[in-house]
Amino acid sequence: MGKLARYGSGSAWKGASVITEALRAFYAVPSSADRDISLDLDILRRRSRQLFQNNTFSRALLSSFNTNVIGTGIKARPSLKRVEILGISREEASAWEKKTQDLFELWANSKNCDAERKNDFAQLQDLAFKTTLVCGDCFALPCYDKNLEPFGLNIKVLEGDRCQNPFGMADTDALTEGVEVNKNGAPVAYHFTQKPAWSLDEYTDYIDSVRVPAFDAFGNPNVIHVFTSDRTDQRRGIPMLAPVILQLKQQERYQDAELMAAVISACFTAVVTNNVPEEAEDLYGNAVAENAEGENVTPSAPTLEMKPGAVWSLAQGQDIKNLNPQRPNVNYQPFVESIFSEAAAACGVSYEVALRKFNSSYNAVRAAILESRRTYDRLRHNFISDFCQPIYEKWLAQAVMTGLIDAPGFFDDPVKRALWCGCRWISDAAFLLDPLKETQAIKMQIDEQLLDRDSACAMVNGGEYDVVTDALARELEIRKEKGLGEPGSVSKTESFSVSTDDVKESALN
């Protein structure tokens, strides 16, 4: 009884029973996070990559994540807090923030920030995040090129396949899937192949490898590892499509079959029957046959092909019967949409957002967008923490070291260094389903002092309030210089330009 209770009597939790008919064959293999991943990660990556390349829903799903999380790029806004600790005034801090932002944008907007000279920083974000979704994780190595003045820093993005044990070594607790850790599970070093796995010279993939320490002398990461961990002691990430690979592949097969059936039903479809058995002949389809050696064989009998509007003359004794495949299938759309709904929900979003298909009511669509936004915000926060902020800190350390930026105490005091590295990251504005209603709601929150105008600008157009006010001030100067009136003074519409007090005053008069 003791042994039975130990292995699942189901007396307390029915889900632990090994006696119940429904759970008798349900055996869960005990395994650590690293063991689970190391056994299946390679094939999961390859299958996920194939689905992203060839499966329409998989590509639409992952592209929706990329569009909503990264968009046109996540912008850095240096932000200094506790300026009294840094020994500067608020005015000096504002000037420092503006200068640092301008210099970082000079670097970020140039393709010199990419070791391959193909992408600017926003495009690197897009590439790194997409790689993380498809492969499970992504690596980035900060590199330095003295010929790229004045900054020199550039980023090399690597797919997860390139991080692997050298010489095909077996996984151990200390080194698994190319990640070397200490006794606490913190990364110590990473092992990368010199060239992409399965390259043209693939025989060198497991031979030419390099060990890169995880951190430099200042504690900054030498290796930027972007992934989401689902369990403790997990070193590598898994593709987002991993839990739904089976459903998506089966759906792809079903979609191909339905499409072929619809094509065939649009053609002349018939079955030829022969009522004279001794005169029966072999029929050949549209495809050329092959013999046992794989060579093409020319049909000896006439080929009957399916063609739109085709009419065939039949031999004596032959009859023709029409086939009715009943296409298009009226159950196709609700069936595949149920699969799409489950797959999208497993990834944390609604299928309406993934497919860009908004046929429901305003409230239903808004709920779907807002619920999906929670997932996008969480993924964006993780990506900023894993990719954007470490790169910004690397760039800032180099800028301070070369004298481009003055930051007293940066390398001497860890607290001051953390304060100097403060940065807000601004993404694209969220999608407004009904701009009028949602802008009015934002205005009410501002009027009730529940929201500041800087946050409101970010919500509406992804901008910053101080940038907007600077632009408005310049506009005001230009209007005064040109002798122009205030905006809306020439032609006002009653619904937008006339206030409620104006309407009441007119009624009283």
What are the tens digits of pLDDT across the range 306-331? 666 666 666 666 666 665 666 667 78
The top-scoring range by mean pLDDT among 128-137, 167-176, 291-300, 334-343 is 128-137
* Residue 151 confidence class, pLDDT cut points 50, 70, 90: confident
Instruction: Give the count of alpha carbons within 13 A of 495, CB side only.
Output: 1
pLDDT of residue 134: 94
Q: Which residues lie below 8 Å from residue 107, measured CB to CB, with a gap of 6+? A: 113, 121, 151, 153, 395
**Residue 300 in this model has a pLDDT that exceeds 60:** no
Average pLDDT over residues 255-264: 82
For residue 150, what are the CA distances in angstroms to 77, 82, 107, 403?
Answer: 21, 30, 9, 10
**pLDDT 10s digits, 346-356:** 888 888 888 88
Nearest to 467 by CA among 408, 415, 426: 426
**What interhelical angle do 90-108 and 121-135 show, nearest 10?**
70
**Residue 6 in this model has a pLDDT that exceeds 70:** no
**Residue 471 in this model has a pLDDT that exceeds 70:** yes
Instruction: Give the count of alpha carbons within 13 A of 61, CB side only.
Output: 31
Residue 114 token pair: 């990419």
pLDDT of residue 307: 65
**Residue 129 in this model has a pLDDT that exceeds 90:** yes
**Residue 5 in this model has a pLDDT that exceeds 50:** no
Q: Who has greater pLDDT, 461 or 156?
A: 156
Calculate the CA 460 to chain-centre distance. 23
Q: Look up tokens 């390859």; give the residue.
A: 46
The top-scoring range by mean pLDDT among 116-120, 271-275, 462-466 is 116-120
Task: For residue 48, give the 3-state DSSP assignment.
Answer: helix
pLDDT of residue 384: 95
Tell me whether residue 288 is exposed, middle or buried, using C-beta atoms within 10 angstroms of its C-beta: 0 to 12, 13 to 18, 19 or more: exposed
* Residue 423 confidence class, pLDDT cut points 50, 70, 90: very high
**pLDDT 10s digits, 424-455:** 898 887 766 677 877 888 888 888 888 888 77
Buried b (16+ CB within 10 A) or exposed e, 170-196: ebeeebbbbbbbeeeeebebbbbbeee
pLDDT of residue 283: 47
pLDDT of residue 467: 77
Nearest to 93 by CA among 76, 78, 108, 75: 78
Task: For residue 187, give the 3-state DSSP assignment.
Answer: strand
**Residue 42 in this model has a pLDDT that exceeds 80:** yes
Q: Average pLDDT, whole number, for the chain?
A: 81
**Residue 500 in this model has a pLDDT that exceeds 50:** no
Percent of the residues in the chain that have a pLDDT greater than 70, as a whole number: 79
Among left, alpha and beta (phi > 0; psi -120 to 50; other), residue 181 is beta
In angstroms, the CA 78 to CA 500 distance is: 41
**Residue 184 in this model has a pLDDT that exceeds 80:** yes
Question: CB count, 10 Å around CB of 403?
Answer: 8
**φ, ψ for residue 39 (rounded to 5)?**
-70, -30
Percent of the residues in the chain that have a pLDDT greater than 90, as a whole number: 29
Average pLDDT over residues 121-138: 94
For residue 138, what are the CA distances in angstroms to 133, 134, 163, 227, 320?
Answer: 9, 9, 9, 7, 60
In angstroms, the CA 286 to CA 273 distance is: 18
**Residue 491 in this model has a pLDDT that exceeds 90:** no
